[in-house]
Amino acid sequence: MKKVAKKKIKKAPRKVKANFPKLPKIELATFGGGCFWHVQLEFSKIPGVIKTEAGYMGGKDRFQNPTYEEVCTDKTGHAEVVQITFDPKLVSYFQFLEVFFKNHDPTQLNRQGPDVGSQYRSIIFYNSPKQKKEAQEFLNHFQQTLSKKIMTLIEPAKPFYIAEDYHQNYLVKKGLDSCMI
């Protein structure tokens, strides 16, 4: 019988475990309730919000990365929206729904106050089936408390296009609490 030579097996280098801080699980929420300046201000006040961005969503596919001027023509189909990045351990989607419906008139069609056009429509863009369900349930319950019909749309999120820099945190930059006259 032949002797079989034993092969030396090299051990893999020991893995070093780094102690990086655990990043929070983040989610997105997207709402359009008229001019995005006031909507952004209200959402940015909520603890657990990581950032808010004013932008455009829900337009025709052929209009990618529209400008404010293009959106204002009412031809692109985009709504002025605020996209919220948040930590769901610190703030619930339900809280955003409460703030959203408290801070605009959901019974107006394609307008908020003096701002008129489909870009000012009341709309919730959901980013998950759970958000869709919560938004529908909240809207149905809230409708029972009003005499007018709620015009708020609930649609799946589409590509988000960030608005021009001068729109970001506009009211904060100007030291204002509201853009209403």
Q: Which residues are catalytic?
A: 35
What contacts 130, CB < 8 A, 6 or more positions away? 93
What contacts 34, CB < 8 A, 6 or more positions away? 80, 104, 111, 112, 113, 115, 120, 122
CA distances from residue 157 to 23, 64, 153 in whole angstroms, order as listed = 24, 15, 12
Give the Cα separation of 160 and 145 in Å (integer). 32
3-class DSSP state of 146 = coil
The answer to whether 101 and 30 have CB atoms below 8 angstroms apart is no
Q: Which residues pair with 123 in a beta bridge?
A: 32, 153
